[in-house]
Structure formats: structure tokens, C-alpha cells
Structure 1
Amino acid sequence: MKPPYQSVLVIDDHKMIINGIRVTIEHLFEQFHEAYSGESGVEQAVKHQPQLVIVDFRLPDIEGNMVVKEVRYKCPQSRILAYSFNFDENAVNKMFSVGVNGYVLKNEDEGEFLKAIETIMLGRDYYCREARNHIINRISFQDDNTRHLIQDMEFTSKEVEIIRLICYQKTAREISDQVYLSERTVEQYRSNINKRIGARNLVGVIKFALKNGLIRIEEL
């Protein structure tokens, strides 16, 4: 029976871990590629343009989030699953901020790992419970009423990140570099956000973000 997906690239500096992942998922992919450093991982990704990239946060040369940035730019069609050995809030924050499609721990059981891959390959995001809880906490709001109001407005994680960057007084060019969108698209996001939250200027956006816990006053 032909595997459902074409190719996967695993970036990890531990060969035993890569071998374990191979055994677990090789039935899902026609091609299995591997790399043992961030630099070689980016090279392999550019060469093979894999449908899925699985990348460790801690690599011997550069952190996984920097690898993800490069892969996102050079392989825009690739889906990306990040992971680390232990739950690390810093790792989750960094990987989430560069737009990975999922995050799991290495010590998750085989079923959880396969579920993550299958969910991501269906075009949805998948975060293990620990990572999901931390991300929710990171962008959570001060009270339940506000939280429901925000959810009703259906803010995406991309929009939340753009609101935060606007508050930091980033230019459209700087925001576009960070969220991997064109300047024109960023301006469209900015305009739509202003209309939805009823903000006429930067001060209005900052007030909204502070009230809803998207930023803290000490961050400004």
C-alpha cells in the first residue's frame, strides 16, 4: 500500500532518536530524510522541499526556531512539527512565535506523536497539552467576559501577534519580516484590527491590548 504522504525531514542531533522516529512514521511517507544540525537541516529542506519537517528545538549549532524561520522562508509549503525532550516554556514561546504547526514532547507516546503528524498533514495545528496550556496562558486575558469577547471576534494567533507588534511600535516592514507576510498584507491586517476593536490610532490599540492582557505595561 502506497504511503499517504510524499516526504518528511527530521532534524535532530541524536541518531537514535531519528531512528526511533523513522520506525514510528516511515509507513506514512514515501521518502524519509534526516539531518543532524540546524544548518544541514535547512540545506536538506531546500534540497528536498519536504511536506513535513520535524525539528528539535535544541540543536548543536543553532536553536530550532532559527531553523524554522529559514525553512518557513525557503520552503513555504512545508508543514513544521517542533519538539523538545522536556517541557520548556522558552522553547514553546520561540517555536510558537515563528509559526510552527505543532509542538510535542519527545517523551510523548507513539500514539500522540502519530496523532500530531496526521493532524498537521490534514492542514490543522496540533500542540500537546503542556504546550497548548502554556500558549493559552500566554495570550489569555484578564477576565472571562473579555476572553469570550475576543473569541467571538475570532482573533487568530497571527492577529494577536500583530497586535502585540503594533503595540511595540514596529513598522509594517518590521512586522512583515517577523510574521512572514508582505507589508501590504500587514497594513490590511492593521486596518482590519483597528476597525474590529474600534481603535483610531496606536493609543487605542495599546489600550485594547493592555485591557485584554495581550501585553503588560512593563513591556512597553
Structure 2
Amino acid sequence: MITNIAIIDDEQLIVEGVKMLLSTEQSISVTITSNNGDDFLDSLRSISPQEFPHICLVDIQMHPMDGFELVEILRETYPELKIIILSSHYKSSVLGYMVKLGVSAFLPKNSDKKTFIEAITQVHKNGVYFTAEDHRLLLSYLNDSQKNKGLFNENDELSEREKEVVRLICKELTNNEIAEKLSLSPRTIESHRQRILDKIGAKNTVGMVIYAVVNGIYDLPFKL
């Protein structure tokens, strides 16, 4: 199966370099490149369904629309799109904020080809690519009460049933599969899913997975 990729970065050299890096992969097709958020959004409105991207590689520092603003628009308008952040500013405050928005992965711009391919493959397959360094930075962020404020809602503790549902969601089971495993109806599972998102304040399943990992509910295999 081909993974369609969009690359959005205001540095043309970065766009061309990443596109060239991915061009040798038969399972990856770069269908959109753009140097700013507005042009990219225009491209999404006009591109054919066959070329619509599965994953967007988004730079944070762009002008006039920065990566944070673009991600917020994409999450609202195209919630099915998975987003990988490309950034030279790989630090816990940025990581924490982007997790809150439901980003699937974070890649420093100096990552090697193997890491790029692995991240794209894992995000397409599992919805998230989470490294040991990401985990360390998130724990550091969460341990700072000032920065952590608002990342996840901590007022409502998840019930044991909800934690069980979260673990199965993290294992990529569908609502029907979870319902069958727990002897519940798919509609009940969907209600659980939405209630969990509301409780923890996550935007999507990616945020739920990150929440489960940092709170010890689920152990995700890390790239060490």
C-alpha cells in the first residue's frame, strides 16, 4: 500500500531534500509540496482523492502561517490526517504542546533516512511514532507543574473499564473488535472512547495513546 506524503516547509532546500530522500521508497509517494500553510490548504481542497496525503510533514517555524497554526487548522478540518512535525527546536515545551494538538510524531531535521522511513511507516501503521527521547522529554514536561498545566485534564480519573478500553485502542483494535472482546456493543465502545477523550482533554486517538503511555496505562515499544 502506498503512503501519500505532503511536505510543508518554507525552506525550499528542505522540501527538495526530504522529497529526494523519500523518492527511492516504492511504498511512499510525495503528492504535495508547499512552502507555506495557505498554499498547502489550497492544494488539499483541489487534490484528487487518490493523491490526498495520509501523512503531512510540517515545519514549525514558517511565515506567515507558522506550523502551530497550520496544525490546529488541519486537526479541525481534516482530523483523519496524520501529522509529523519537522523541527530544529526539539524540546519538551514544543513536544508537550503538539501532543495536546494530537500530532503523531516529532522528527528533528537532522534525522537520518532510516529514522524518517521508520517514523512514516509507524505513523501510517500505528498512528504514532514515539521514541525513548520523546518519552523522557514528556516526563520532564509533565513533572514541571507550570508547563504541564493544561496538557491533559487530571480532574477525572479513568475507571478500570475505561483503562481497559484505552489499552485495546492502543493495540489498534477497532470498536467492533473491542466490543467483541469485552462483550459490549460497538455503540457502548464508541461512548467510552468519546468519554475518555473528554476526560483527558485529548484531541484524538494519538493524544489518547500518549496519555496512556505517560500515565503508565500502556507500554508502547520505543525506538531506542
TM-score under structure 2 length normalisation: 0.59
Superposed, 1:1-220 pairs within 5 Å as: 4-26=1-23, 27=25, 28-48=27-47, 49-140=52-143, 161-163=152-154, 188-189=195-196
* Root-mean-square deviation over aligned CA pairs: 3.2
Kept in 1: contact 2:89–2:108 (CA 8 A): yes
Give the Å deviation of 1:140.
5.0
Provide the rounded CA distance (Å) in 2 between the counterparts of 1:138 and 1:111: 27
Provide the rounded CA distance (Å) in 2 between the counterparts of 1:185 and 1:47: 36
Kept in 2: contact 1:103–1:128 (CA 8 A): no
Q: Describe the superposition over 1:94-150 as per-residue Cα deviations: whole angstroms up to 9, x where unpaired.
A: 2222110011100111111111111101023113444332112223599xxxxxxxx
3-state SS of paired residue (1:91):
helix
Give the Å deviation of 1:45.
3.2
Query: Closer, same or farther in 2 for the Cα pair 1:139/1:88, shift >3 Å?
Result: closer
Query: Closer, same or farther in 2 for the Cα pair 1:46/1:95, shift >3 Å?
Result: farther
Partner residue, 1:177? none
Provide the rounded CA distance (Å) in 2 between the counterparts of 1:24 and 1:58: 21
3-state SS of paired residue (1:127):
coil
Query: Closer, same or farther in 2 for the Cα pair 1:122/1:38, shift >3 Å?
Result: same
Q: Describe the superposition over 1:8-53 as per-residue Cα deviations: whole angstroms up to 9, x where unpaired.
A: 1111001111111111223333442111112222332344341111
Letter in 2 for 1:161: F
Structure 1 alignment gaps of length 5 or more: 143-159, 167-183, 194-211, 213-220
Larger-gyration structure (1/2): 1
Query: Closer, same or farther in 2 for the Cα pair 1:53/1:192, shift >3 Å?
Result: closer
Kept in 1: contact 2:92–2:140 (CA 8 A): no
Q: Describe the superposition over 1:154-181 as per-residue Cα deviations: whole angstroms up to 9, x where unpaired.
A: xxxxxx72336x7xxxxxxxxxxxxxxx
Percent pairwise identity = 18
Provide the rounded CA distance (Å) in 2 between the counterparts of 1:113 and 1:91: 19
Greater relative CO (CA pairs within 8 A, separation 6+): 2
Provide the rounded CA distance (Å) in 2 between the counterparts of 1:25 and 1:99: 24
Kept in 1: contact 2:153–2:199 (CA 8 A): no
3-state SS of paired residue (1:81):
strand
Kept in 1: contact 2:119–2:129 (CA 8 A): yes
